[in-house]
Structure 1
Amino acid sequence: MSVVADGDGPSAAPPGVTVVRTGASLKEGGPGENGMRRGAAPMVRGYLDSLRRLTLRAMRLPRHDVVVTMTDPPLMARVGPMLAAWHGAAAIHWCHDLYPALLPVLGLRIPDPLYRLVEWSVAGAMRRHDAVVAIGRCMARRLAALGVPSDRIVLLPNWAEPGIRPVAREGNGFRADLGLGDRFTVAYSGNLGLAHPMGGLLDAATELARTDPDIAFLVIGEGRGRPALEAAAAARGLSNLRVLPLQPAGRLSESLSAADLHLASMDPRAEGLLVPCKVAGALAAGRPCLFLGPAGSEAAALVDGCGRTLDPADGTGLAAVLRGYARDPARYAEEGRRALSVSARWDADTAAWRFAALAESLLGRAGKPVAAPLVRMSGRGLPHA
Structure 2
Amino acid sequence: RLACDLALHLRAKGHPVTIVTSAINPKTDTSKNLTVIRVEGDDKPNGAWAYFKILKRMERAAKKLPRHDIVISMTDPPMLATVGDRVARSMRSKHIHWAMDLYPDLLPVLGANIPAIIQKIIHYKIYNAVKKADALVPISECIAKHIAKNTTTKQSVTIENWPERSLLKQEECAPFFKDTDQKFRILYAGTIGLAHDFEALLSAATYFKKHSPEIEFVFVGGGRGLSALEKKAKDRALFNIRFLSHQPTEKIKSMMEGGDLHLVTIKDRAAGLLYPSKFYSACAVGRPIIYIGPKECEIHKNIQTHQCGASIRTTDSQALIKSITEYRNNAKMWNDHAQNAKTIIALSPNKNLKQWDDLIAHLNGVH
Q: Same fold (TM over 0.5)?
A: yes
Q: Is the counterpart of residue 344 in structure 1 residue 321 in structure 2?
A: no
Partner in structure 2 of residue 363 of structure 1: 364
**Matching residue within 71, 90, 103 for 1:99:** 103
- Distance, in Å, in 2 between the alignment partners of 1:327 and 1:11 is 54
Q: How many residues were matched structurally?
A: 348
The residue correspondences of 1:62-81 to structure 2 (distance < 5 A) are 62-81=66-85
Partner in structure 1 of residue 117 of structure 2: 113
- Distance, in Å, in 2 between the alignment partners of 1:118 and 1:344 is 39
Partner in structure 2 of residue 26 of structure 1: 42
Partner in structure 2 of residue 371 of structure 1: none
Q: Is the counterpart of residue 309 in structure 1 residue 307 in structure 2?
A: no
Contact 1:133 1:154 in 2 (8 A): yes
Q: Which amino acid aligns with 2:166?
A: G
The answer for unaligned runs of 5 or more in structure 1 is: 36-42, 368-385
Q: Which amino acid aligns with 1:127?
A: K
SS at match of 2:151: coil
Partner in structure 2 of residue 288 of structure 1: 288
- Distance, in Å, in 1 between the alignment partners of 2:176 and 2:28 is 30
- Distance, in Å, in 2 between the alignment partners of 1:16 and 1:208 is 53
The residue correspondences of 1:1-385 to structure 2 (distance < 5 A) are 1-7=17-23, 8=25, 15-22=32-39, 24-27=40-43, 31=45, 35=46, 43-149=47-153, 152-165=155-168, 172-175=174-177, 177=178, 179=179, 181-304=181-304, 305-347=307-349, 349-364=350-365
Q: Which amino acid aligns with 1:147?
A: T
Over aligned residue pairs, what C-alpha RMSD do you find? 2.1
User: Could you tell me the TM-score, scaled by structure 2's length?
Assistant: 0.90
Contact 2:110 2:194 in 1 (8 A): yes
Q: 1:284 to 1:93 in 2, by over 3 A?
A: same
SS at match of 2:112: coil
Q: 1:254 to 1:166 in 2, by over 3 A?
A: farther
SS at match of 1:107: coil
Q: 1:132 to 1:212 in 2, by over 3 A?
A: same
The answer for unaligned runs of 5 or more in structure 2 is: 1-16
- Distance, in Å, in 1 between the alignment partners of 2:267 and 2:316 is 13
Contact 2:75 2:102 in 1 (8 A): yes
- Distance, in Å, in 2 between the alignment partners of 1:281 and 1:256 is 8
SS at match of 1:6: strand
Q: 1:119 to 1:317 in 2, by over 3 A?
A: same
Q: Give aligned-pair identity as a percent.
A: 32
